[in-house]
Structure 1
């Protein structure tokens, strides 16, 4: 594409069922571009081929761009606690993008922008990362704890410690009263 040329609009047949307040930011055909589907980045999340739903930016643990392939790792909920979720890495999904355009940039920017707080802590049985993420259209932060691989995610001692860690992190990130 030339300096001032634009990527064609997303074909209507490839347009996901967007919410009323959702807009397409970038998209790219997957694989050879002949029926493999498209990845669509919106202001609310990422639409991947073969899924009938969007993955919110706050639900992506990791996104890696190799220059040809985009690999995304969504979060999987292990247990819901009072005020936060314990999550682990879901299966990583890799997509070959022949004409990526702005998609990798938008994915990186949106995932990064969603992170308001993140800190790694030692916990019983290993280590875990406490994170607070911004969710488009939602006031406040969504909290998660992600035990590192090898750390049992549903161990009672770990859960007691993560309750404490999330409580401390919430207090440290709460806006000061004026």
Structure 2
């Protein structure tokens, strides 16, 4: 009896165009009925079927595993403000994984590790989440704001309050010189 089952190697025909320092951590075949495809987790992000590019771990707002299906919600930059980005959720994408192996664990671990700071705040007329994330190749944290649906994100009072909240979060997470 074997205690550990060796995972088959990712077929070369399914291998995404990895960068020089990028390596495959886990992969799984997709059974969505849309032809052959694989989901590949690398140290830099997630490769999804039908896309010619990698999604960085910092660009994944939410990932959920049902035991059969991986649901990925990516963020989309809708505005850039002084010191932070305003992000909106793109529609969730679902992938039925035939033999998930370590893929769900790697996705959860990598998305979670990219988040250094997250806090939900009440804002005038709504609310929003301030998030500080690690981005490969970028020193320090990248700050993002996700406004709750219905929050008037272009309102001057909301922008002013958000600016203050991001500045306070940045100050709270910046190491102080000794």
Shorter-chain TM-score above 0.5: yes
Please tell me whether the aligned partners of residues 32 and 95 of structure 2 are also in contact (alpha carbons under 8 angstroms): no
How many Å apart are 1:135 and its aligned residue?
A: 1.4
Quick one: structure 1 residues 7 and 162, their matched pair in 2 at CA, closer, same or farther if it must change by over 3 Å? same
In structure 2, the residue matched to 1:177 is 177
In 2, distance between residues paired with 1:85 and 1:8? 40
Please tell me whether the aligned partners of residues 78 and 154 of structure 1 are also in contact (alpha carbons under 8 angstroms): no
In 2, distance between residues paired with 1:47 and 1:38? 8
Q: Deviations over 1:46-83 (max 9, x none)?
A: 01011111111111100000000000000011101112
RMSD: 1.5
Quick one: structure 1 residues 33 and 91, their matched pair in 2 at CA, closer, same or farther if it must change by over 3 Å? closer
Q: Which runs of 5+ in 2 are unaligned?
A: none
In 2, distance between residues paired with 1:53 and 1:69? 21
In structure 1, the residue matched to 2:141 is 141
- Please give the secondary structure, in 2, of the residue aligned with 1:67: coil
In structure 2, the residue matched to 1:113 is 113
How many Å apart are 1:133 and its aligned residue?
A: 0.5
Quick one: structure 1 residues 36 and 77, their matched pair in 2 at CA, closer, same or farther if it must change by over 3 Å? same
In structure 2, the residue matched to 1:16 is 16
Q: Which runs of 5+ in 1 are unaligned?
A: none
Superposed, 1:1-178 pairs within 5 Å as 2-31=2-31, 35-178=35-178
- Please give the secondary structure, in 2, of the residue aligned with 1:177: coil
Q: Which moved more, 1:24-33 or 1:117-126?
A: 24-33
Q: Which moved more, 1:110-119 or 1:32-41?
A: 32-41
In 2, distance between residues paired with 1:16 and 1:146? 30
Instruction: Tell me the number of residue pairs that the alignment of Structure 1 and Structure 2 aligns.
Output: 177
Q: Which moved more, 1:15-24 or 1:153-162?
A: 153-162
How many Å apart are 1:9 and its aligned residue?
A: 0.7
Q: Deviations over 1:111-134 (max 9, x none)?
A: 011110001111122000000001
Q: Which moved more, 1:147-156 or 1:59-68?
A: 147-156
